[in-house]
A and B are shown apart, each in its own frame.
Chain A
């Protein structure tokens, strides 16, 4: 399944780049990096569906839950 996902992203990237050959190189670079990140993320979620979600505001949330017992 992971290989299929990677192939899918590679196909989409190739088609889009072929369809717009005059795109500036900066845009192409940003596009490729972002596509690679999206593909890596998809593979990670495919291989591990229970991948933990980071909670950058988790500490604040826990503290608020402590002072307000009504539940958020």
Chain B
């Protein structure tokens, strides 16, 4: 079944996917007070790769995922690639489930078992995956407005707490920490966008892939930079780099005339919304990839076992909050380099060669 996603909804889809579960973590903490520079460097370094993802997506234009993969890479190679990315997407989905359930347990539902919160999310994700990318994109186009408005409103309320001196002196420790911070953000969440290529379906026109991916990416990068810089300016470098959820702590300090307080809950809601979309996109990509590997054109019937298995998957892959924080703020993991950088570059080269050969014939 072909899916059509309008450009505006596609942009919201990409932006919300990147914002997803990353907003609450201390992104680029290795850069310390220079984290804003890390964001700029990471955006610059990620841009060519996002462009490459857009190109891969545009080459599959007008075809469903399995047709597109087969025409680009041939029958069996495309099935192996789809299986590898399906595993990667499932793993990432499990991590997101773990992120969300750990966060909820840490900040509010202390005595509720993580299994219960995970089940609630997973059932919703199951429905979303069965509905497909069109429904998710439509949902994203509504939610991105809510998320954007709430974030800007919260940041405006907290301007009184911001201390811009926290950013000075610039690059006191040299360029090394800035680069490490940039690599942290590239690994999570910028280059995880590769999974959107396999899940979003057809856009209105072939060139729209570039508009959707690049605009969504820049929008999300800007928002993340704003939120991280704000957290650092409110908390100070020391607290930002040592706390698990800095934005949560920063918004907790907002107090407007002792009337408007406890705004950290708003951040929690944004995290839950973004986390839901990210889980759904990961599992959508996993289902589509596995269906193609097994030779089925429809993926929906595989959704239930794959989606339900992320609950034990989350428990299996992550044992504690410390492990989650470490995985969210590490400097490029080996598997991430493979799936986000090496494989996409190889796939792009192969696809271009095959397409030029076809056009010559």
Question: A residues bordering B, Cβ < 8 Å?
Answer: 9, 12-13, 16, 20, 23, 26-27, 30-31, 34-35, 37-38, 41-42, 44-46, 49-51, 53, 57, 60-61, 64, 70-72
Contacts and interface: CB of A to CB of B under 8 A. Distances in A.
Given A30-B302, A38-B306, A61 B334 contact: yes
Nearest to A26: B296
Task: Tell which of B301, B302, B319, B332 has the most Cβ of chain A within 10 Å.
Answer: B301
Given A41-B316, A60-B334, 12 more contacts: A9-B308, A13-B304, A27-B296, A31-B302, A34-B302, A34-B305, A42-B311, A45-B313, A53-B316, A57-B335, A64-B334, A72-B333
Q: Number of contact residues on B: which range applies?
A: 20 to 34
B162 interface: no
Given A27-B301, A30-B294, A53-B316, A41 B309 contact: yes
A30 B316 CA distance: 24
25 contacts: A20-B301, A23-B301, A26-B296, A27-B296, A27-B298, A27-B301, A30-B301, A31-B304, A31-B305, A34-B302, A34-B306, A35-B304, A37-B305, A37-B309, A38-B306, A41-B313, A42-B311, A46-B312, A50-B319, A57-B335, A57-B338, A61-B334, A70-B180, A72-B332, A72-B334
A72 B309 CA distance: 29
B interface majority secondary structure: helix
A16 B338 CA distance: 36
A35 B305 contact: yes
A20 B300 CA distance: 12
Contacts of A50: 319
A35 B9 CA distance: 33
B309 A38 contact: yes
Contacts of A49: 315, 319
B160 to A, nearest CB: 38
B278 interface: no
Q: Lowest 6 CB-CB distances: which A-B pairs, in order?
A: A45-B312, A38-B309, A34-B305, A38-B305, A42-B312, A35-B305
A64 B333 CA distance: 11
Q: Determine chain A's interface SS by DSSP, over half rule.
A: helix
Interface in B292-343: 294, 296, 298, 301-302, 304-306, 308-309, 311-313, 315-317, 319, 330-335, 338
A38 B308 contact: yes
